Chains A and B, each alone.
Chain A
């Protein structure tokens, strides 16, 4: 569990973080969202002491982060940044092994961990010997995430990790990250300025503006009750309804399978995609099927909208 208590930090007289209290529960996926200069990166970097607060405390599982040497602390917290920052003179494998090597793991254990992580991040094992310069942007960030997970930290800090990627690669990596978080149960604190990304991945969304917390809520709570106009702006005034639909899987609103066979839709689809499909096909009923083609239920336009 992470607790920030009244943390402040000023740069050249301007407060980047102006008194923030924040709690992130163990296993949570917390997105810090806001515009440039809202203090979200500074806040994130306070957790692993890359930035020291002028005042206030940062507690990890009840312990002040200042009780540990910064290097010791950081070796047990994963860290991923937008520009990846792979060591260009090291191979992919050695990059991934960076923290285990710092922690003095035995060679066989490191080798095993590299293999395991490359599989987890779906990296081709042949890339182990490759130089970072030969990787695509998406591959490089996969290696960046693998490097952050190498010593199996409980907590992962990510500073706009997918911001520099093209939309297709970004979506693919978001899916991977969601899967990894499900599989490993890590606590993730994630800085982004992309509301769709935050709503899609996070269990807790913290909206920041000028160094203060404007709202701290679940994605659906944020959509249902935006605290003020700044949050409404971030959510996009026209898209709010659609974004709420996107949070809901079709299985949560479908009825029992009906007799008439309607066009099929996969059970994993969200309600926004289902609505789009209805509009595309000009129908008001869809047939929900699992991956084997078994009919699970039927989806009605009225139920979608009624939410």
Chain B
């Protein structure tokens, strides 16, 4: 028998995976979408081939953890994740066949186990390097697509909410992107010149950047609230503006508040990027006979660009999250679905609003990371 070499990270995770079903409900089953459900343990929900797959996944993962087999661990963790989805979906399908209004929601046990399996996957992928990371990403995408397209998950409460709200969700997503876009574009137009000015005139920088920092500390709800009165007054004073859609509630205050939040990361990162240009490089540029505008466009801006892009990334991710809160002042977007679910007690509806917000933020972050030039080093 080969020698055991327990993996110090995977083994505790597998242990946690084994005990989680004992303490937490895997799913909850309710008579309809608004009442709270009855907890259902994993052992009660699991049956048939899905249960066998889960058992196999867990066993293989344990083996991989004991023998240091990161490739096996990737496959086993993926199998386990697939089995978790399958078990929950199967249980929902079976239950709704006998009780059409019954709702099966994913419970703490499901999320915990999914999270632990995902951690195993990430750790194993880290150990195998680039190829393993690609394999893990591909497996997760394939499993998710398979579960969704095969209809296995269709009877889960969150997907039934999705089936009801499909059109609304699409509109909300577009609206969300619109709010973020409308806030970020003017932020760039104002924030970048402001950052340049702050770097050129340190006196101005010492004044403006801390002021923008104070704006960041204002809770988002409060800032949205603060926008109500002046914009309502503005609309009352100039009816043309009101006809153009400016009012105390809706898009206008949301966009304005997001713009104020977004100025700090853009302006301060622009200033920091410019300040990071080495003085000898500027000295040499002057000494070779570059004009101030050539130095700015050919040297400063290029060297400040990575910092600027990082600022843009922070801004978009932050604005995507904050835009959800803007639903409270009637701006619409994914936040509207989220709060709809929260206020009516339909938590799966809230989840349906929240997941795309996270997805958007992660996607924006990923795209901007890919776009940023490799660090100059």
Q: Give residues in A with beta carbon < 8 Å to B.
A: 48, 50, 70-76, 79, 81, 83-89, 98-99, 102, 131, 133, 144, 147-148, 157
Contact = CB atoms under 8 A, between A and B. Distances in A.
B284 A85 contact: yes
Interface stretch (B189-197, B239-247, B286-294): B286-294
Given A85-B280, A85-B281, A102 B303 contact: no
Contacts of A86: 281, 284
Contact of A79 (B284, B291, B299): B284
Contacts of A71: 289-291
B287 A79 contact: yes
B207 interface: no
A88 B376 contact: yes
A86 B288 CA distance: 11
Nearest to A147: B288
B288 A83 contact: no
A83 B285 CA distance: 13
28 contacts: A48-B287, A50-B283, A50-B286, A50-B287, A71-B289, A71-B290, A74-B286, A74-B287, A79-B287, A79-B288, A81-B280, A81-B284, A81-B287, A84-B284, A85-B281, A85-B284, A86-B281, A87-B285, A88-B278, A89-B299, A89-B302, A98-B288, A98-B290, A99-B288, A102-B288, A102-B289, A133-B377, A148-B288
Contacts of A72: 289
A132 to B, nearest CB: 9
A99 B288 CA distance: 6
Contacts of B377: 133
A58 to B, nearest CB: 15
A84 B283 CA distance: 10
B280 A74 contact: no
A102 B285 CA distance: 11
A67 B376 CA distance: 39
A73 B303 CA distance: 26
A161 to B, nearest CB: 12
Contacts of B290: 71, 98, 102
A157 B278 CA distance: 21
Contacts of A133: 376-377
B187 to A, nearest CB: 26
Contacts of A88: 278, 281, 303, 376
A85 B283 contact: yes
Contacts of A147: 288
Contact of A74 (B288, B299, B302, B376): B288
A55 to B, nearest CB: 23
Indicate the member of B284, B285, B289, B303 with the most A CB atoms within 10 Å.
B289
Nearest to A48: B287
B297 to A, nearest CB: 12
Which 6 residue pairs are nearest across A and B when measured between Cβ atoms? Answer: A85-B284, A79-B287, A75-B289, A74-B289, A85-B280, A83-B280
Nearest to A73: B289
Given A84-B284, A87-B281, 9 more contacts: A71-B289, A83-B278, A85-B283, A85-B284, A86-B281, A89-B376, A98-B290, A99-B288, A99-B289
Contacts of B376: 88-89, 131, 133
A177 B280 CA distance: 22
Nearest to A150: B288
A87 B283 CA distance: 11
B131 to A, nearest CB: 27
Contacts of A131: 376
Contacts of B299: 87, 89
Interface in B312-330: none
A144 B283 CA distance: 13
B302 to A, nearest CB: 5
B298 to A, nearest CB: 8
Indicate the member of B280, B288, B377 with the most A CB atoms within 10 Å.
B288
A84 B280 CA distance: 7
Interface string B104-118: 000000000000000
A280 B286 CA distance: 50
Indicate the member of B283, B287, B291 with the most A CB atoms within 10 Å.
B287
Contacts of B284: 79, 81, 84-87, 144
B289 A85 contact: no
Nearest to B292: A71
A33 B333 CA distance: 70
A110 to B, nearest CB: 14
Contacts of B287: 48, 50, 74, 79, 81, 157
Contacts of B294: 102
A100 to B, nearest CB: 10
Interface string B250-281: 00000000000000000000000000001011
B294 to A, nearest CB: 7
Contacts of B288: 74-75, 79, 98-99, 102, 147-148
A83 B278 CA distance: 10
Nearest to A144: B284
A75 B303 CA distance: 23
Indicate the member of A76, A102, A133, A144 with the most B CB atoms within 10 Å.
A102
Nearest to B291: A71
A190 B34 CA distance: 84
A85 to B, nearest CB: 3
B301 to A, nearest CB: 10
Contacts of B291: 71
A103 B358 CA distance: 51
Contacts of A98: 288, 290
B293 to A, nearest CB: 10
A84 B287 CA distance: 11
Contacts of B303: 88-89
Contacts of A81: 280, 283-284, 287
Nearest to B294: A102
Indicate the member of B278, B283, B284, B303 with the most A CB atoms within 10 Å.
B284
Contacts of A157: 287
Contacts of A76: 289
Indicate the member of A71, A81, A144 with the most B CB atoms within 10 Å.
A71
A115 B299 CA distance: 24
